[in-house]
Amino acid sequence: MKPKTLSLIASISLLALIALCLAWEAILAPLRPGGSWMTLKVLPLMFALFGILRGNRYTYQWSTMMILLYLTEGVIRTNDAAPGNALALAEAVLSVIFFMATMFYARNTAPSRLAQASQRET
């Protein structure tokens, strides 16, 4: 896939994950009635969002490691009562999509790969 396509997939999945986490912890199935401090878990995602939208390769690299925390939470919380279990599964799926898109974007935009691509064109 082209880096532009991977960037679009990463951006959409990250925005969807932010919206899901906020809705989950504030409205849909909060740990405590009325919402909880768990909504703060979107802060690391927000830090990554600006770099992802700008196409900052370094952000793509470190966010592949950060997103594994959200994948872990999603997998662990699939044992929650409904609707929490469905939300946890959605979090896990969005985390995997984001992970794959960012990993391939970082790989395809590596300076060594870009140099090889430009040599092939000449």
Q: How far apart are CA 112 and CA 45, in angstroms?
A: 28
Q: Is the pLDDT of residue 1 over 90?
A: no
Instruction: Please check whether residue 6 is in contact with residue 101, taking contact to mean a CB–CB distance below 8 angstroms.
Output: yes
pLDDT for 62-93, tens place per residue?
Answer: 999 999 999 999 999 999 888 999 999 999 99
pLDDT for 36-63, tens place per residue?
Answer: 788 899 999 999 999 999 999 999 999 9
Please count the other Cβ atoms lying within 10 Å of the Cβ belonging to residue 40: 10
Give rounded-to-5 percent helix, strand, coil for the chain: 85, 0, 15
Enter the tokens of residue 17: 């994950």
Enter the tokens of residue 47: 């830090």
Q: Is the pLDDT of residue 114 over 70?
A: no
